[in-house]
């Protein structure tokens, strides 16, 4: 299942309709709700409010996630209206809103059956480009977290097919929510067309979860294990979160004095390995005593060490917080973060790095057991994650095969962060997919690059030797602009799979090295004595 920025891929042209939720009488008819707001949600709201004050612009600076689902049948207006209203009734987070009142917050909630849908016919599009731009702009405006609704639906109808799209502010959904939701919406639409019930399992409310999480977190003190773990992690970086080097952002101009990040980030996505290669790579990770998750992180650690020379590999990992069966298919922001740190000072082999990653993952779970914002409050830390790596295995989600084959994809807005690097690795039925966002980069040759540093270990590191066949280069900016990484003998043919241009910038080189390492390990025989 693809995870892409909405502008990264075309949408087949057709008739665009936008579906906007509303409640007759507005928020004045909603009920006051005493349930608490999660730390994530509160910070998100206050950041959006600060942005409004600072820039005099509305919105949450485009922080939405969404879905695009393809149906191979004509659009039924009565069926889609029924499905969307039922879905809003099913997920309470879509019927609840939090407003800032001075130094406090007030939640408002409306009952099932009270939300209606306004159908707005936008027009017919004969080309994909203008259609995608219209949708992207509409979703950017409709998902501002300070307003309700902070989400919107859209349909693009054609003679024999249609596309259903949904976008919501991050405070309402996370990636796991959407992976599960695509099959839920497909099942509900089929049921509506056949005039029967969808027979879905009961689902819990994220509003309940966030209240429980906030209450428990606020009662926790500095003796919680997560506090000590995060303190140690931050101390390893002189009190700061880890970051991944990118080209320095351009300073604000006089024409934009209040907007400190006016340029949207760059976006990359693609396929790292097919299913067979991913299975072989997983087997190698198992032989080393680790899971696929540990193997993916170990590969990042090896490449990072080779490109930077850092003695430690540090990043932040999202960890889902769905600790009860009732949350499994709920819409909501069920995400904590955990510290991840691996010692690379002795240039370990891949299997050694897998073992260290396994231990780091186990230890890091404690870090996600308390919301990081609560930890930060207890230790007086300011600032959030800047280098984040996410791994999700979607193979066992309902409808995963059809979604991965093209029926559905998770979409996201662009981001304006000047220093965040986010990388998502997904194991899908077809293999390993990646997606990334990061500040725009300059080509390495424009940065005065002369000597090569994009080469990651040759067979020496893969073969279990105690040190790399060559020492780490120490700086990704030393990489030559050709940026070609190979693991095979000179006479071997290059891998025909699509590649990432390592010469395009430091993060490109980083992802290129990671992809090549995964492929090299996955293409090797699991029975070779060299592994």
Model pLDDT for residues 200-237, shown as the tens digit of each residue: 999 999 999 999 999 999 999 999 999 999 999 999 99
The pLDDT-based confidence of 360 (bands split at 50, 70, 90) is very high
The strand ranges marked E within 214-357 are 266-274, 312-320, 335-343
Tell me how far apart the alpha carbons of residues 357 and 299 are, in angstroms, rounded to a whole number.
Answer: 10
- Per DSSP, what are the bridge partners of residue 243? none
Please say whether the beta carbons of 48 and 55 come within 8 A.
no
- What contacts 364, CB < 8 A, 6 or more positions away? 229, 317, 338, 339, 340
pLDDT above 90: residue 131: yes
Query: Quick one: which of 521, 93, 87 has its CA closest to 281?
Result: 521
Is the per-residue pLDDT at 447 higher than 80? Answer: no
pLDDT tens for 301-339 read 999 999 999 999 999 999 999 999 999 999 999 999 999
Question: CA distances (Å), 49 to each of 27, 144, 234, 458, in order?
Answer: 19, 10, 28, 50
Q: Tell which residue, 173, 138, 176, 179, has the closest CA to residue 155.
A: 138
How would residue 250 be classed by pLDDT, with cut points 50, 70 and 90? very low
Asked if pLDDT for residue 42 goes beyond 50, the answer is: yes
Helices (H) and strands (E) in the chain, counts: 13, 16
Min mean pLDDT across 125-139, 313-327, 441-455 is at: 441-455
Rg, the chain, Cα only: 24
Q: Give pLDDT tens digits for 362-374.
A: 999 999 999 999 9
Would you say residue 17 has pLDDT above 70?
A: yes
The pLDDT confidence band at residue 57, using thresholds 50, 70 and 90, is confident
Report how far apart, in Å, the C-alpha atoms of 321 and of each of 210, 222, 327, 335, 368 are: 10, 21, 9, 6, 8
User: How much is the mean pLDDT over the chain?
Assistant: 87
User: For 95, how many CA atoms within 13 A lie in the half-sphere containing its CB?
Assistant: 24
On the 0-12 / 13-18 / 19+ scale of CB atoms within 10 A, 497 is middle
User: Measured between alpha carbons, how far is 522 from 517 in angstroms, rounded to an integer?
Assistant: 8
Predicted TM-score (pTM) of the model is 0.89
Provide the Cα torsion 106, 110, 321, 141; round to 10°.
-80
Counting residues of the chain whose pLDDT is more than 90, the rounded percentage is 78
With beta carbons less than 8 A apart as the criterion, state whether 455 and 480 touch. no
Question: Phi and psi (nearest 5°) for 438?
Answer: -170, 160
Residue among 324, 319, 351 nearest 335 (CA): 319
Angle at 379 between CA 311 and CA 384, to 5 degrees: 60
Cβ atoms 181, 83 nearer than 8 A: no
| Cβ neighbours around 484 below 10 Å, total | 15
Q: Helices 350-364 and 275-287: crossing angle, nearest 10°? A: 80
Average pLDDT (31-36) is 97
């Amino acid at each position: 299942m693809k995870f892409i920025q909405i502008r990264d891929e075309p949408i087949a042209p057709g008739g665009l309709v936008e579906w906007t939720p509303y409640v007759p009488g507005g928020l004045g008819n909603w009920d006051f709700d005493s349930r608490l707001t999660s730390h994530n949600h509160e910070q998100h709201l206050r950041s959006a409010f600060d942005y409004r004050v600072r820039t005099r612009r509305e919105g949450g600076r485009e922080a939405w996630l969404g879905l695009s689902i393809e149906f191979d049948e004509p659009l039924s207006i009565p069926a889609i209206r029924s499905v969307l209203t039922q879905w809003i009734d099913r997920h309470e987070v879509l019927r609840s809103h939090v407003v800032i009142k001075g130094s406090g917050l007030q939640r408002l909630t409306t009952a099932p059956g009270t939300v209606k849908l306004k159908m707005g016919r936008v027009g017919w599009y004969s080309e994909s480009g203008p259609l995608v731009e219209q949708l992207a702009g509409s979703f950017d405006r409709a998902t501002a977290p300070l307003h309700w609704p902070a989400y919107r639906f859209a349909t693009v109808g054609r003679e024999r097919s249609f596309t259903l799209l949904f976008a919501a502010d991050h405070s309402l959904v996370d990636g796991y929510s959407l992976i599960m939701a695509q099959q839920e919406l497909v099942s509900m639409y089929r049921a509506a067309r056949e005039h029967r019930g969808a027979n879905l399992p009961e689902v819990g409310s994220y509003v309940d979860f966030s209240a429980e999480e906030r209450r428990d977190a606020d009662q926790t003190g500095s003796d919680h294990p997560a506090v000590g773990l995060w303190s140690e992690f931050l101390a390893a970086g002189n009190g700061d979160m880890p970051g991944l080097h990118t080209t320095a952002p351009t300073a604000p101009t006089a024409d934009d004095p209040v907007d400190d990040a006016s340029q949207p980030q760059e976006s990359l996505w693609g396929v790292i390995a097919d299913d067979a290669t991913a299975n072989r790579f997983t087997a190698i990770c198992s032989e080393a005593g680790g899971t696929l998750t540990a193997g993916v992180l170990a590969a990042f650690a090896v490449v990072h060490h080779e490109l930077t020379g850092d003695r430690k590999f540090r990043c932040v990992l999202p960890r889902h917080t769905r600790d009860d069966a009732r949350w499994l298919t709920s819409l909501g922001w069920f995400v904590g973060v955990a510290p991840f740190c691996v010692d690379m000072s002795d240039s370990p082999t891949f299997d050694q790095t897998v073992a260290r990653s396994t231990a780091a993952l186990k230890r890091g779970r404690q870090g996600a057991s308390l919301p990081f914002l609560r930890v930060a409050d207890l230790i007086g830390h300011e600032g959030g994650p800047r280098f984040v790596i996410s791994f999700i295995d979607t193979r066992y989600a309902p409808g995963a095969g059809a979604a991965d084959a093209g029926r559905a994809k998770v979409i996201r807005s662009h981001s304006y962060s000047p220093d965040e690097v986010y990388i998502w690795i997904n194991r899908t039925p077809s293999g390993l997919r990646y997606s990334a966002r990061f500040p725009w980069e300059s080509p390495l040759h424009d940065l005065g690059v002369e000597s090569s540093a994009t080469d990651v270990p040759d067979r020496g590191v893969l073969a279990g030797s105690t040190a790399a066949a060559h020492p780490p280069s120490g700086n990704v900016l030393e990489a030559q602009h050709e940026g070609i990484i190979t693991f095979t003998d000179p006479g071997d043919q290059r891998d025909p799979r699509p590649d990432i241009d390592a010469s395009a910038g430091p993060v490109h080189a980083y992802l290129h090295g990671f992809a090549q390492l995964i492929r090299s390990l996955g293409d090797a025989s699991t029975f070779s004595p060299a592994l």
